[in-house]
Structure 1
Amino acid sequence: MLWQWHDLLAALNLSEPKEGRAVTGVSIDTRTLVAGDLFVALSGDPGPRFDASGRGNSDGHEFVSAAGEAGAAALLVSNDVESKLPALQVTNTLDGLWQLARFARARMHGRVAAVTGSAGKTTARSWLEQILSAQLPTHASVGSYNNHWGVPLSLARMPEHSGYGVFEVGMNHAGEITPLSELVAPHVALVLNVLPAHIGQLGSLEAIRQEKLDIRQGLQENGILVVPYDLARSDVTDVEVLTFGFDANADVAATVQTSADFLSVEVTIAEVNYRYDLATTGEHLALTSVAVLAVIHALGADVGKAVESMSLLDNPPGRGNMFMASGRTIVDDSYNANPVSMTYAIKALTQRVPGRRIAILGEMLELGEQSQELHQEVALACGEVDVVVTVGEGFAHTRSDFGDRLLVHVDSVDHLDLDQLIAVTQPGDTILVKGSNKVFWVNKFVSKLITSLESD
């Protein structure tokens, strides 16, 4: 049982209703609610603490009846509602969710890691979960639950007796990481990388760096900040810092050898050498694996067992997953993109032989005034790609930069002719799909592409 009724009352500082059922989960969405869950009726407005981009039009109180029909055990509400379910009434349900998160974190006595970065943090979080779960019961964020409701929801779902907790922390605007890090209260905090994602909101790479480094603000006493070797600076003096990277001077130093289908990594941790293979491609993913091992080491977990798990790791959906369809290899990296992760993905594509390399690239969003320049840099990185398709306004001014490699540019994925695209492919080709979340991922483009290839 996740929450006993008396613990819910204690966490929310309530005395009524005295009678209620224990709950087995916590949900904010009736579409995914499981029987036995506590349904938290969030309003669409997170209040002044969080940016307006986090606001929605719906109010969870409108779905109380649906929650009951789905089998909810109880409700967390801020309004009077008509329901036979026991209702915990608070002034603000988002604040109530944060209260549940704090209580859940305080009662869990295992080791906790927080993960942030401009790209790859979901992969790092997923890999940490997979590795640590083989050592002790481990609870982790799901999907990309890394914002003002995703982090507290993930914490509220954490079983009391978890041995490890792994939580993803994200941001779109300045000032968002510190309160989330303080809520997670990690023993180890990882900054995977600092890239020009959200630069349109923060204005500069240095501002992004400072915001990401604020994840250390929530560290426990004697906590450890894990950062790339090239990110470490003398201005971070308030916590212990552990560096990782391909530089021999890093605390956790690695080398990598690439092949068409896997990566071979050698890493040194505390003067002990390890070697492992990853069933994926791209040096950026090798670097992510090194960061993961640095966190494992900092947590005090078994590094040797972690290395044994490396070859079994799976990528989260949309983060470089490979599929075969009619003799073509599809690389689904469509969940999101920024200029550096786009370049990483293109470099990994060009390392695949034999066969032609085809890149279907969606525009990168939230780049502000630097958007045109950064899209042109991506175009120039495609020199060894055989065929390119671009989607979105961001690539509208880069057609000449691609030269004869550009098959077609369209303003929207809805305008992309799959029959035309498939006609230029052939067995043995590798097709990369990469772009910002709103371009391909939300439109389920890769699934449509695979279906069309298999029915051709």
Structure 2
Amino acid sequence: MNLTFWEVAEATKATNNWKQWEDFDLTGIEFDSRLITQGNLFVPLKGENDGHSFIKNAMERGLGAAFWSALEVPPSQLPILQVTDTLKAMQDLAVYYLQKMKPTVIAITGSNGKTTTKDMTEAVLAQQFKTYKTQGNYNNDIGLPYTILHMPDETEKLILEMGMDHANEIDFLSKLSQPDVAAITMIGEAHIENLGSRAGIAKAKMEIVTGLSDEGLLLIPAEESLLVPLTKGLPQTIKTFGFEQADCQAEIIEAQKEQTTFKIKGSTRIFTIPVPGKYNVGNALIAISIGQWLKIPEEKIQNGLADFELTKNRTEWLKTSTGIEILSDVYNANPTAMNLVLDSFSQMSTQGKRVAVLGDMLELGPDSASMHGSVSEHLNPDEISEVILYGSEMKTLYQILKEKYSEKQLYYFNKEEKDKLINTLKKLLEPADMVVLKASNGMGLKDVVAELLES
């Protein structure tokens, strides 16, 4: 981190007599005392545990300085920066650091596909620039400034993922990061409980333009009618992506289990991504559009997409020692995303049978039952021969599927019966079978994936 102690004090308007300490270089910033290394700045955040109580542990690990907002007197031997709110101090410091380092900022949000799109975009831009991206899911009011303050000095293009579950959260993140390019992957139903409707979700996602440069680029899906009216009158360049009537328009050539091949309108070049599904082609179109905007040659864009590495737990193909193929997509879920995955999975070639394990989609509000039930339209016994449903919200789907599936093809387990689900799945699956697992992260289907791999 290219910052000194005095520089941080001035940027965050620290109120104590910090000039009693000689200025020195800080080596990094951490809010988890367990991650502190020599010369770091410690940010003690107040949450379930007050980070101030871990100051001794941080000191033992060699921290160089710390923000401080607790009533308790800080350690006298430690360079301290007294602030009103340690989180706000970190956010203010991130704003200062962006202004100092001046990378091009790319912001990505959406109901699904944010992380995959971030990974694809970083891989494309890295073909020509020094890049840094959000690590894991550090995409909120803590994770985003933390990401900014962790970018290497030489970073030219910074790719930031922005998450939200309430209105005004993307607005804050956009104003903080002041992006030059912004993209919305899709509008689904995630967090509809807090936002009231898909229209409410679309409005919340469009908050990404509040900090977007007037000379910047906004990318939206061409097929999403809720977004198009919200772009009227905006000063930025608006471009669409998709499969019909889009500025960046794709035609799928071949869809396989572990890769998808497609071409785009106006080009003879063939693109390949090492992930399945039409929805992932949509994510790739965002990366292509950003690459084109930044004048990266098409050949480099093609190479970046072909070799990109997906963040763990996002549409991950795994294989057991007995040959069972697992499509693990257990990090998040909403009806639109689940339906897209099932449509893709239903068409994948296999020597065995296709099996689906579907868990509750959380935070869908009062219409949760009907939304879960709507998934039935994307399940057909001729394509997916057995279905295992898990969680109280999946009961509605279970009742509907009874009309399509026999007792030997359809299973239901409540959340306390995860062990029974695992045992049933182990008995059901045979070598050469293919199984997809999809649910909200809170349902813990990653444990089921782990059990299948271990056995």
TM-score scaled to structure 2, two decimals? 0.91
Q: Is the 8 A contact 1:244 1:253 kept in 2?
A: yes
Q: Deviations over 1:290-322 (max 9, x none)?
A: 111112222344443121121112221111111
Residue 32 of structure 2 corresponds to 29
1:124-139 to structure 2, matched below 5 A, reads 124-139=117-132
CA distance in 2, matches of 1:84, 1:273: 65
Q: Is the 8 A contact 1:109 1:161 kept in 2?
A: no
Partner of 1:68: 59
The AA in structure 2 aligned to 1:134 is Q
Verify the 8 A CA contact 2:189 2:336 in the aligned structure 1: yes
Aligned: 1:285 with 2:280? yes
Aligned to 2:87: 94
Q: In structure 1, what residue type is equivalent to 2:86?
A: T
1:413 Cα deviation from its structure 2 partner: 5.8
Determine which of 362, 367, 376 is the counterpart of 1:365: 362
Moved more, 430-439 or 390-399: 390-399
Equivalent residue of 1:397, what SS? helix
Cα distance in 2, alignment partners of residues 19 and 133 from structure 1: 38
Alignment of 1:5-404 (within 5 A): 5-14=5-14, 16-17=18-19, 18-19=21-22, 21-44=24-47, 57-79=48-70, 80-82=73-75, 84-231=77-224, 232-236=227-231, 237-238=233-234, 239-247=236-244, 249-256=245-252, 257-268=254-265, 271-325=266-320, 326-354=322-350, 355-383=352-380, 384-403=383-402, 404=406
Report the Cα distance in structure 1 between the residues aligned to 2:441 and 2:260, rounded to whole angstroms: 26
CA shift in 2, pair 1:371/1:75, >3 Å: same
State the match for 1:52 in structure 2: none
Give the CA deviation at 1:60.
Answer: 1.0
Q: Distance in 1 between matches of 2:97 and 2:172?
A: 16
Gaps (5+ residues) in structure 1? 45-56
Q: Contact (CA 8 Å) 1:258, 1:281: kept in 2 or not?
A: yes
Query: 1:234 Cα shift?
Result: 4.1
- State which drifts further: 238-247 or 132-141: 132-141
CA RMSD of aligned residues (A): 1.9
Distance 1:413 1:191, change over 3 A: farther
Question: Which whole-Å CA distance do the structure 1 matches of 2:429 and 2:221 have between them?
Answer: 39
- CA displacement at 1:70 relative to structure 2: 3.1
Deviation at 1:2, TM superposition (A): 3.4
Amino acid in the other structure paired with 2:333:
A
8 Å CA contact 1:335–1:435 kept in 2: the answer is: yes
1:122–1:316 contact (8 Å) kept in structure 2 = yes
Counterpart AA for 2:290: V
The aligned amino acid for 1:330 is: I
2:120 partner amino acid: W
Quote the offset at 1:85 in angstroms: 3.3
SS at match of 1:438: helix
CA distance in 1, matches of 2:417, 2:442: 10
Residues 116 and 409 (structure 1), Cα distance of their counterparts in 2 relative to 1, 3 Å cut = same
Alpha-carbon shift at residue 127 of structure 1 (Å): 1.7
Distance 1:20 1:379, change over 3 A: farther
Name segments (4+ residues, structure 1) moved above 6 Å: none
**Compared with structure 1, are the counterparts of its residues 20 and 335 closer, same or farther at alpha carbon in structure 2 (3 Å cutoff)?**
farther
The CA deviation string for residues 199-235 of structure 1, in whole angstroms up to 9 with x for no partner, is: 1111011111111111011111311111111235244
Give the total of aligned pairs: 436
Q: Are 1:440 and 1:446, in contact at CA under 8 Å, matched by a contact in 2?
A: no
Moved more, 305-314 or 226-235: 226-235
Whichever residue aligns with residue 177 of structure 1, its letter is: I
Q: Matches of 1:272 and 1:422 in 2, distance apart?
A: 46
1:261 Cα deviation from its structure 2 partner = 3.1
CA contact (8 A) 2:122 2:159 kept: yes
Q: CA deviation at 1:35?
A: 4.0
The corresponding residue for 2:440 is 436
**Mapped partners of 2:418, 2:184: distance in 1:** 36
Q: Is the 8 A contact 2:370 2:396 kept in 1?
A: no
Q: Distance in 2 between matches of 1:181 and 1:7?
A: 24
Displacement after TM superposition at 1:137 (Å): 1.3
The 1:303–1:27 alpha-carbon spacing in structure 2 relative to 1, beyond 3 Å, is farther
- In structure 1, distance between residues paired with 2:370 and 2:151: 43
Task: Describe the shift of the 1:295–1:397 C-alpha distance in structure 2 as closer, same or farther (beyond 3 A).
Answer: same
Deviation, 1:83, is: 6.6
Deviates more, 1:60-69 or 1:76-85: 76-85
Deviations 1:352-377 (A, max 9, x none): 22221111111000100110011111
Q: Could you tell me whether the CA contact under 8 Å between 1:188 and 1:299 is conserved in 2?
A: no
Q: Distance in 2 between matches of 1:133 and 1:87?
A: 38
SS in 2 for 1:360: strand
Contact 2:375 2:397 in 1 (8 A): no
Aligned to 1:51: none
1:407-418 mapped onto 2 (5 Å cutoff):
407-412=411-416, 414-418=418-422
How far off its partner does 1:38 sit? 1.7
Q: CA deviation at 1:160?
A: 4.1
**1:83–1:437 distance in 2 versus 1, CA, 3 Å:** farther
Q: TM-score, normalised to structure 1's length?
A: 0.90
